[in-house]
Amino acid sequence: MIYLDYAATTPMSEEALAAYIEAAKLYFGNSSSLHDIGSDAARLLSICRKQLAELIGGDERGIYFTSGGTESNVLAVRSIIAAHRHKGNHLITTATEHASLHHLFQQLETEGYEVTYIPVDRFGLIDVEAVEQAVTERTIFASIHHANSEIGTVQPIAEISNRLHKYGVIVHSDCVQTFGKIQVDLQTLGVDSLSISAHKIYGPKGVGAVYIDPRIKWTPCFLNATHESGFRPGTVNVPGIASFVTAAQHACKHRADEHARLEQLRHYAISQIHEKKLPIAVEGHPDAHLPNILGLSVHGIEGQYTMLECNRYGIAISTGSACQVGKQAPSRTMIAIGKEDDEAKQFVRVSFGKTTTKADIDRLVSVFETICQHRKE
C-alpha cells in the first residue's frame, strides 16, 4: 500500500518509538508524585517543556501538554476567553477552520458569544483587511489557523496578529498542520497562543501541546485541576511527551531539506496531471501553501469514489480532513472557496511524507488516469 495521507496522521518514527520505550521503562512514575520515581518523571517533563519551548521560540512557562490538537484548540480558546469575558463577547475566526474549532465556535454562539466568520477567496486565503474591519469594541479574541488542513493554504498570520494587537485582541493559531513543515516561531508569527500535535510529525497519537504567552491571563476550564499548572486534569503522559518532543526536534532539524523535497514532489505531481491532460483541478493557493498537501478536484467524479478506487489499487488518500470522515455534507473548505455542493464533493486530498517517492507519484497519476478513463466509458 502506498500511503499518501500524511496530513491525517503519520507513522511513528524510529526515534520517537525509541524515546517512548526508554521513557516508559525508566520514567514511568507519576510526575506529580513526591517520591524519587515521581521526581525523576517530573524532571524529564521539565526538560521536555523547555526543549519544546525552544523549538517554537517561546517561554517554557507557556507550554501546556495535552492529549492532542483538538483538546489543545478547545482548551486554549475556552481558557483565554473565559478570563477576558468581562471585556467583551465578540470573537473572530475563519470559515475554514479545523472541525475542532468550527464546532467550538458554533457552541460558543449558543453561550452568548458573537462570532464573525471571515470568508476566504477562491484560493482559501483570508483578507487581512476584512479581519481588521471585523473588530468591534467588544472583540476580545481571534482564532485563525496557520494553514488549511485540506488544501494547504498558508495564512498571513504575522500580519493578522500585528493588525489585531493594535486593538488589544488576543490571537490564537491552530498550527497542527504547519509545525515541523514550515517555520512556527512565536516571535515571527506574533500570536499569543498556538496549538500543535505529535501525530502529524511522526510522534505518538494522543499527545499535543498548547502555548499561551505567560503574560496572557487564562482561567482553568476544569475547577481544581492539578496537572499542567491547572490547565487540564489527568495524569501526565510523560513517555508520550518525551516521544513527541523527540519527533519535534527531528522534524525541525530536517525541516528545510524535507520542505524542498516535498515541494519538488508536489510540483512533479501537478506537472504530471497537466501533462496527461487529466480532468483534475489543483485547489489552494499557488504560492502560499504547505509543501506536503495537494488538494484536488476530479471533474465529474465524487471524491468518495476516487478515494475508494485508489484504495482498491493500493493507494491511501483521503476526501479531506480525517475528522470529517463519514459526514455526508460536502467539504466546508470547498464551499468556502466558492464551489457548489456537487463540485465540493469531487474533492480529494493527497498528502506526502518521509517515505513518499517520485515512483509513488507516478503510480498515483497512473491510477487517476485509469479512474478518469473508466468513468468516461
**Residues annotated as catalytic (active site), given as ranges:** 323
Quote the crossing angle between the two packed helices 238-253 and 255-275, to the nearest 10°: 70
User: What is the sign of the dihedral through the CA atoms of 74, 75, 76 and 77?
Assistant: positive
Look at phi and psi of residue 206 and say left if phi exceeds 0, alpha if psi is from -120 to 50, else beta: left
Element (H, E) at 173: strand 170-174
- 3-state per-residue secondary structure call for 103-163: HHHHHHHCCCCEEEEECECCCCCECHHHHHHCCCCCEEEEECCCECCCCCEECCHHHHHHH
Nearest to 185 by CA among 157, 166, 208, 165: 157
Is the CB of residue 43 less than 8 Å from the CB of residue 167? no
Question: How are beta strands 293-298 and 208-212 bridged, if at all?
Answer: unpaired
Q: Are 347 and 150 in contact (CB under 8 A)?
A: yes
- Edge-to-edge strand ranges of the sheet holding 170-174: 63-66, 208-212, 193-197, 170-174, 139-143, 90-94, 114-118
**In sequence order, what are the residues at sequence separation of 6 or more whose Cβ sits closer than 8 angstroms to the Cβ of residue 290?**
147, 152, 154, 177, 178, 181, 182
Cross-strand bridge partners of residue 91: 115, 141
SS3 320: coil
- Do residues 285 and 153 lie in contact, with contact meaning Cβ atoms separated by under 8 Å? yes
Element (H, E) at 195: strand 193-197
